[in-house]
Chains A and B, each alone.
Chain A
Amino acid sequence: MSTSVAEHGQGAGLSPEHGGHVLRVAGLQSEFRSRRGTVKAVRAVSLELEPGQRVGIVGESGSGKSAFALSVLGLLEPPGYVVGGEVILNGRNIAELDDRQMQTVRGKEISIVFQDPMSALNPVKTIGQQITETIRKHQPQLGKKGARAAAIELLRDVEVPAAGRRIDDYPHQYSGGMRQRVMIAIALANQPNVLIADEPTTALDVTTQAQVLTLLDRLVTERGTAVILITHNLGIVAQFCDVVYVMYAGRVVERAATADLFAHPVHPYTEALLRAVPRPDQLAQGPLPSIPGAPPNLAEVAPGCSFESRCPLGRGHKLCRTEVPVSTAAIGFGSGGATAECHFAKERVAEYLDGDATTA
């Protein structure tokens, strides 16, 4: 009846050495161009993913997390453009590949599940046609019959009841949760090494969300698929991910192993975000600690830290206003490799270490 999602190794954490990455993104930059100016949506984002690892990207709308996902896959459509950086997937830089070469990569080595299962499936094609499309592209040797059999098998695997019959249904005959299962089936059809899940459960009800997350957990564990889970829901990150990247205004402002991030948020934005969420396990008293103001306009990037105007620590601070903070390794506590982009990072880490020392 009840299952726990939590068994997956939470100690996986960050590893300092760079070998053995299934995906390594370095300095990825993308922008959206319009007559009114250029919006720098992704500003030099780097990310590392080991085989079977689960990385979470947390951010609010406009933080660039979805643009990042599309950029990695080379699916950014004009007026969006990738303007720099490397995407090393299984040892080669796929950012350099042309569209024809990318066709053998997408859906085979790396795939994606989108947020809204209502619009992510073509309404005039059957579920079966949409699953076999990806199977036949990457496993042509299966033939038409083989692809259909494989599709039914996949539907069973994502726990769609009466798969053999329902494969010929159209998307509008499926509920939202069932459609998201179909999306997962499509994404995992060719056993990719990397799955990007962009807000996969945001459009679903809580009980359906729990079902889909449990399913996703089982499937990627069985297949050893590495996952990048993009979400604004900190609860899902806590439940699912080994490592968390926090994005703000197009940059990764902090990354850390999940347990460390929640226990010792170094960047003030991370901390504010964590405190702004009402927690279902604690009765909150008094006003919620909210973050004043709104994220900056990325068409006119001001010098300095982009969180400065909202930051409880750095607001008005000269250093924060004029200089972009460099990514500081938050060495000394938790698993290695944690970083934060904040001028106060060192002091904050030191504070945490003192605090831990006194409580210990």
Chain B
Amino acid sequence: MLKLVLTRTAASLVAIFGASILAFVLLRVAPADPARLLAGPFATEEVVEAQRVALGLKDSLVSQYFRYIGDFFQGDWGFSFSVGRPVIDQIGSRLPASIELGLYAFIFALVGAVICALLATYRRRRAVDHTINGFALFGLGTPPFWLALIVLLVFFGILDILPGPEGRLSPRQEAPPEVTRMYTIDALLAGQLGTFFDAGKHLLLPALVLGFAPWAFFFRLLRASLLEVSGEQYLATARSKGIRRWTAFRRHALPNAFLPTLTAAGLIFAALLAGSVLVESVYQWPGLGALVRDGVIEQDYAVVQAFILIGAFAYVVVNLVVDILYGVIDPRTRTGSAVTK
């Protein structure tokens, strides 16, 4: 088991290294010239040249890469020219917003998919199955930004029971004391129930919209998997012991049905953590998505680079967790690694 964790971790490090090279090279070959951007459009060629030297752009790519990585680990993620702040500050303030949104979206998608998959398969009622399935197809085919606008129109514009596009909190609401910088958690930690509910209300629509397509995707995977598992003989064995149908299903079908969907769940989770440009824009959510969009438009590539690295990191870590989970849930993988011992 320890061996499994160690080999997977080593493989993850390799993956992150690859991603960092990719992020670095991609942006070097992009047409933008940071020295020119920094010096401004009217600066003379000498000034721009001096800027290049100052930025280290004249060094070899290899030394530039190592300097970049070295700085990255020391917390110097570069400087955002367009905003005039260090990248790490900007990301530090926006990452928690994206993570919080992604986390809730993932929980909605996961819990919703499990409940719906059970409803669709457990009693084998065709009508229920068809209804949820149709809804899921709708979820897979609907553009999130459009859905975001529609639900905003309904719940804010017409019914007015949920807040409009005003970010993470109501304008008069003070942010809770900073711990994790995720407002719902920080508010609970500080015991500020009012802030908690306000933050929750603001999260509800964007999280639902963001989680809708992943829910649909995950539901369909899980439904297929459950249908397959529910035909397995060991369920009949469990029932023949006198175990309640539901208990047999929960104990014997669910864990086995989850196995093939774990990888997909991990990928969905990582994608949600990285934020969404369109949904964040509609709800004025101060997350990473908006930051990266601006970074691309302003050719502010320190921001984009940091984002790529963080994204890669998220994917790799989530995949590592998934691999380890497989080992925990499925004894066959565990002894598979024991054989090579």
Minimum CB–CB distance from B40 to chain A (whole Å) comes to 63
- Chain B residues numbered 246-267 whose CB sits less than 8 Å from any CB in chain A: 251-252, 255-256, 259
A128 within 8 A of B: no
- Which residues from A are CB-within-8-Å of B242? 102-108, 134, 137-138
A172 within 8 A of B: yes
Are A114 and B256 in contact (CB-based, < 8 A)? no
Minimum CB–CB distance from B152 to chain A (whole Å) comes to 42
Are A173 and B329 in contact (CB-based, < 8 A)? no
Are B236 and A137 in contact (CB-based, < 8 A)? no
Are B335 and A170 in contact (CB-based, < 8 A)? yes
- Which residues from B are CB-within-8-Å of A112? 240
A164 to B296, CA, bound (A): 64
- Which residues from A are CB-within-8-Å of B341? none
| Smallest CB gap from B336: residue in A | A172
A100 to B246, CA, bound (A): 11
A78 within 8 A of B: yes
A252 to B78, CA, bound (A): 83
Q: Which of A119-127, A236-244, A279-287 lies at the interface with chain B?
A: A119-127
| Smallest CB gap from B234: residue in A | A122
- Which residues from A are CB-within-8-Å of B255? 124
A116 within 8 A of B: yes
- Which residues from B are CB-within-8-Å of A124? 255-256, 259, 329-331
Minimum CB–CB distance from A183 to chain B (whole Å) comes to 7
| Chain B interface residue number, banded | 20 to 34
Interface of B, helix, strand, loop or mixed by DSSP:
helix
Q: A122-B256, A186-B237 are in contact. List 18 more A-B contacts (CB 8 A).
A: A77-B124, A100-B244, A103-B244, A106-B241, A107-B243, A114-B237, A120-B234, A121-B237, A123-B234, A123-B332, A124-B256, A124-B331, A126-B331, A133-B238, A133-B243, A133-B251, A137-B241, A170-B332
Q: Would you give the 0/1 interface string for B88-126, flagging 1 where the beta carbon is closer than 8 Å to chain A?
A: 000000000000000000000000000000000000100
Are B241 and A116 in contact (CB-based, < 8 A)? no
- Which residues from A are CB-within-8-Å of B230? 77
- With A123-B256, A124-B330 as known contacts, state yes or no: A103 contacts B335, CB within 8 Å: no
The one of B232, B241, B329 that contacts A107, using a Cβ cutoff of 8 Å: B241
B233 within 8 A of A: yes
A70 within 8 A of B: yes
Are A107 and B331 in contact (CB-based, < 8 A)? no
Q: Which residues of A come within 8 Å of B, CB atoms?
A: 70, 73, 75, 77-78, 99-100, 102-108, 111-112, 114, 116, 119-126, 130, 133-134, 137-138, 170, 172-173, 183, 186-187
- Which residues from B are CB-within-8-Å of A107? 240-243
From B242, B244, B251, B259, name the one whose CB has the most chain A CB atoms within 10 angstroms.
Answer: B242
Please name the 5 residue pairs, one residue from A and one from B, whose CB atoms are nearest each other, closest first: A107-B242, A134-B241, A107-B241, A170-B331, A106-B242
Are B237 and A173 in contact (CB-based, < 8 A)? no
A130 to B233, CA, bound (A): 13
- Which residues from A are CB-within-8-Å of B124? 77-78
The one of B240, B243, B335 that contacts A111, using a Cβ cutoff of 8 Å: B240
B245 within 8 A of A: yes
A99 to B256, CA, bound (A): 24
- With A122-B256, A123-B256, A172-B335 as known contacts, state yes or no: A133 contacts B241, CB within 8 Å: yes
- Which residues from B are CB-within-8-Å of A125? 251-252
Minimum CB–CB distance from B318 to chain A (whole Å) comes to 22
A17 to B9, CA, bound (A): 72
Can you list 18 residue pairs at the A/B interface with Cβ under 8 Å? A75-B239, A77-B124, A99-B244, A103-B242, A103-B243, A104-B242, A107-B240, A107-B242, A114-B236, A121-B234, A123-B256, A123-B331, A126-B331, A133-B251, A137-B241, A138-B242, A170-B331, A186-B241
- Which residues from B are CB-within-8-Å of A130? 237
Minimum CB–CB distance from A187 to chain B (whole Å) comes to 8
Are A70 and B236 in contact (CB-based, < 8 A)? yes
Q: Which residues of B come within 8 Å of A, CB atoms?
A: 124, 230, 232-234, 236-245, 251-252, 255-256, 259, 329-332, 335
- Which residues from A are CB-within-8-Å of B233? 114, 116, 119-120
Are A173 and B335 in contact (CB-based, < 8 A)? yes
From A75, A126, A138, name the one whose CB has the most chain B CB atoms within 10 angstroms.
Answer: A75
A106 to B234, CA, bound (A): 15
A121 to B238, CA, bound (A): 9
- Which residues from A are CB-within-8-Å of B241? 106-107, 111, 133-134, 137, 186
Are B335 and A122 in contact (CB-based, < 8 A)? no
A56 to B81, CA, bound (A): 85
| Smallest CB gap from A189: residue in B | B241
- Which residues from A are CB-within-8-Å of B237? 114, 120-122, 130, 183, 186
| Smallest CB gap from A134: residue in B | B241
- Which residues from A are CB-within-8-Å of B244? 99-100, 103
A307 to B269, CA, bound (A): 59
- Which residues from B are CB-within-8-Å of A138? 242
Minimum CB–CB distance from A166 to chain B (whole Å) comes to 14
A52 to B43, CA, bound (A): 103
| Smallest CB gap from B242: residue in A | A107
The one of B240, B251, B329, B330 that contacts A75, using a Cβ cutoff of 8 Å: B240
- With A170-B331, A172-B335 as known contacts, state yes or no: A106 contacts B240, CB within 8 Å: yes
- With A104-B242, A183-B237, A186-B237 as known contacts, state yes or no: A122 contacts B332, CB within 8 Å: no
A119 to B236, CA, bound (A): 10
- Which residues from A are CB-within-8-Å of B236? 70, 75, 77, 114, 120
A103 to B335, CA, bound (A): 35
